[in-house]
A and B are shown apart, each in its own frame.
Chain A
Amino acid sequence: MKHVPDATADRTFTEDGTTDRASVDSLLSELDEYAVEQALRLAESDPDAEITYLTVGPEDARDALRKALAMGGDAAIHVSDEDIEGSDAFGTSLVLAKAIERHGFDLVLCGMASTDGTMGVLPALLAERLGVPAVTHLEDLAIEDGTVTGRREGDGATVRIEGTLPAVISVTDRSGDARYPSFKGIMAAKKKPVETLGLVDLGIEAAQVGPAGARSAVDTATRRPPRTKGEIVTDEGTGGVGLAAYLTTKKFI
């Protein structure tokens, strides 16, 4: 789960080129809700299934875990350590992989990307670090006898793919609408256990994560000048002709 700045708010960078988390409300990344939904659906068909949510982030990232727990599931792990702040995808994937290994897993479900960084590489990095198949970018999925199959919209083609568990799976926003937490779910979530871990618990050195461990750096982050408001006309019978005239002046016709 990733706790991200609200995409509908005015998001900014801090001076060191990292996301400014203080100035805007954060919430559970919308794209992670699809992973929660798929986890809950899988658990509904398997009475032995246990769902544990995992996030890395400062104190208020627990809100993302509570949101997911309110949708369903059993428990959560919150990795929080001030040295992690400013990590790139490699540092973050290291922390997540260590926490996943420590807890044990049959299946790691992820959203296709976060709604803030939008790199979409974390599931692949997790699979690489954990040494398990990456069955990623799925629009639908089915699991039977320890094998996952699903449809992936790739670069030039749609493919049906298959991998065996344990695996890392990521799902897109087309995998199925996420449910809303019920009042009962919200109340129940307050009683579900949330374990907190730091870097020491995971055997990670501070230098491996955060800005010290990052393998790339932002040089500048400049706000685009807002687009100058163009000419808005109300159609009174010649809107199409006017539009054609505009496109002609711009040499598109």
Chain B
Amino acid sequence: MAEILVLVDHVDGAVRKPTLELLTLARRLGEPSAVFLGPGADAATEVLGRYGAQKIYVVDAPEVDEYLVTPAVDALTQIAERTGPAVILVPSGPDGKEIAARVALRLGSGLITDAVDVTAGPDGPVTEQSAFAATYQVTAHVTQGVPVITVKPNAAAPEATPAEPVIEKQDVTFGPASAAVRILSRTPRERGDRPELTEADIVVSGGRGVNGAENFALIERVADALGAAVGASRAAVDAGWYPHSHQVGQTGTQVSPQLYLAAGISGAIQHRAGMQTSKTIVAVNKDADAPIFELADHGVVGDLFTVLPQLVDEIERRRS
């Protein structure tokens, strides 16, 4: 069966959920092999095996953590040249997309970024993507070389299929370009008690109408009542009310949860591009003409400072 390389996204061996989704997608295309770069492979072996990795290629070299992107490009390219995979899957994100693009260029391969689904087709994998602020659904395929595909979080539900992975340490020759961009310091994104924005089933977002950093506590209360992640519009982030890592939109995080609750968000095109593929959309806004209501499955024209506290009380009442 064809070998599918999956680049593992991890923090010191803690594998992030999108990688499990990629392993799940890879099983539709062939036999998944995980490519693990950096320290912590032992800690990751169990979970990678549980989600079906038949092999784990490990490159535990300091270069991977000391320099940006290029050591990963050297490693993934050389492993691909040795193993001759049918497909290479990489998590979407600034790092993942740059790694994928440079690997594809070196291998003479085609590249598809930000796939929301990947299925087996007669001429290799067929991808699905959203385009033009999610107003279009596009299917595409790679026509040259080993297809390199970056996949967005939430593209598939991770399914466990236990395997006993074979671990193969790989030596990589790092070229001079590998030391081009040094990482001076690294601040891992804070993981609170709430789910991560990209992985959450429910996202509760606040915008300009929240009117102040202190008022985001109300958005957080709603999120906690629903077990949701907190998002923010660009206006709220630019105003300094909530961290940029929570920004939902074209240049922030693009989310596709089961439920998206937008509070005090008018729904500019850049914001809609980041949440329009949510399964159910709910909006609370004072302005009845806000464009967000064009997308909403249920909308409340009203003051979020009266509607949301009442919503939280009612959720608690219904649960008790």
Contact = CB atoms under 8 A, between A and B. Distances in A.
Given A217-B141, A224-B134, A161 B68 contact: yes
Given A11-B132, A215-B104, A243-B282, A160 B183 contact: yes
Interface residues of A, number: 83
Interface string B284-295: 100010000111
Where chain A touches its partner, the secondary structure class is mixed
Contacts of B245: 153, 158
A94 to B, nearest CB: 10
Contacts of A125: 101-102, 105
B169 interface: no
Given A157-B11, A239-B302, A241-B310, A137 B318 contact: no
B300 interface: yes
A233 B300 contact: yes
Nearest to B314: A244
B184 A215 contact: no
Closest 6 CB pairs of A and B: A240-B310, A235-B302, A215-B110, A121-B101, A244-B314, A133-B180
20 contacts: A13-B136, A115-B250, A120-B94, A139-B244, A153-B244, A154-B94, A155-B9, A157-B186, A215-B110, A215-B145, A216-B140, A221-B138, A222-B138, A234-B301, A235-B306, A240-B300, A243-B284, A244-B314, A244-B318, A252-B259
Interface string A226-242: 01011111110011111
Which size class do B's interface residues fall under? 35 or more
Nearest to B135: A224
A200 interface: no
A43 B297 CA distance: 50
Interface string B251-270: 10000001100000000011
Contacts of A121: 97-98, 100-101, 111, 113
B244 A174 contact: yes
Interface in A1-46: 7-8, 10-13, 17, 31
B16 interface: yes
A246 interface: yes
A172 B109 CA distance: 27
Contact of B306 (A116, A157, A239, A244): A239
Interface in A106-121: 112-113, 115-116, 118-121
Nearest to B312: A240
Interface string A115-145: 1101111001101110111111101000000
Given A214-B143, A240-B314, A235 B301 contact: yes
